[in-house]
Amino acid sequence: VMQVAMSAATHSSRPLSVRVSREKECADNSIVEPMSPTGRVMEELGVCIVVVIGLGTPVNLPVFRAGIETELLTRFPRFRSIQVMDESTNNSKPRWVQTPVNMDDHIVVPRLDPEADPEKAVEDYVASLSLLPMDRRRPLWEFHFLDFPSSEAASTVVLRLHHSIGDGTSITTLLMASSRSTADPARVPAMPPPPKRTGAIYQREPRPRLSSGDYLALLAWFWSYVVLAWHTLVDVTMIVATILFLSDPRTLFTRADGVEPRTRKRFVHRTLSFDDVKLVKTAMNCVHY
């Protein structure tokens, strides 16, 4: 069982300020690396990703620790880099600088009340992670191991890392690619086959055959692209207007009194039946593909 959620820490701090010499940067390009524009935006927002993984067995901490060291730290420089501001130039820019990693700073085994409800204990702990700031003096990731059973897992692993390292999809794919089969440690886990897209929406309509006098079909084909461009422009305009001044349309999920709750939000995990999802889709008048 794997869940991915995003949160913004309440206390955000700027990257560390250092002076990086050009000689050091040219000697080893892997030590100092400019931060991408997307990484800069995520750094400004202070957004973190929280990945919740349910395990079928109790946590084997030595195996996890060895896997993190061999798979993540060795193969991916982001997991051994910190964000700094390069002040060696007039216009300071954020950069990635590799640094030694102390695994004890990134592996957390909390002590929770054994008499507490396991489901609520996991939810409360994951919710608390979204409010804690990350220490920018070390790489912005950490694993939390909750070694007690719940209704759906024998133990739970929570990964919290800064969004500038990657997004939810890439991190989930990275974790799957870094794991190994218990029966054969040299074999990667088998991935489910891609779905067969046989519905009518995936069937490409043949382009109308043009003849010397069939200009109407050519006009209809061109007009379809004009309509597509117009609808795209309208959708983008409505999104921008909603962000700036328009209010969201009322749906079945809107509060009856129209007032947003001011209480602190939290992560809640529930297993849903696919039939219930279809029921919500029908009630919301959504299109099903």
Summarize pLDDT for 162-179 with one digit per residue, the tens. Answer: 888 888 888 888 888 888
Model-level pTM? 0.65
**pLDDT at position 207 over 60:** yes
Domains, the chain, with CATH or none: 33-178 (3.30.559.10)
The one catalytic residue in 144, 162, 163, 269 is 163
Q: How confident is the model at residue 158 (pLDDT cuts 50, 70, 90)?
A: very high
What is the model's pLDDT at position 143?
Answer: 94
The three state secondary structure string of the chain is CEEEEEEECCCCCCCEEECCCHHHHHHCCCCEEECCHHHHHHHHHCEEEEEEEEECCCCCHHHHHHHHHHHHHHHCHHHHEEEEEECCCCCCEEEEEECCCCHHHCEECCCCCCCCCHHHHHHHHHHHHCCCCCCCCCCCEEEEEECCCCCCCCEEEEEEEECCCCCHHHHHHHHHHHCCCCCCCCCCCCCCCCCCCCCHHHCCCCCCCCCCCCHHHHHHHHHHHHHHHHHHHHHHHHHHHHHHCCCCCCCCCCCCCCCCCCCCCCCCCCCCCHHHHHHHHHHCCCCCC
pLDDT at 233: 96
Local confidence band at 137 (pLDDT 50, 70, 90 cut-offs): confident
Q: What is the pLDDT of residue 267?
A: 63
pLDDT higher for 277 or 8? 277
What number is the average pLDDT over the span 41-64? Answer: 85
Residue 46 has pLDDT above 80, yes or no: no
Residue 163: active-site member: yes
The pLDDT of residue 109 is: 92
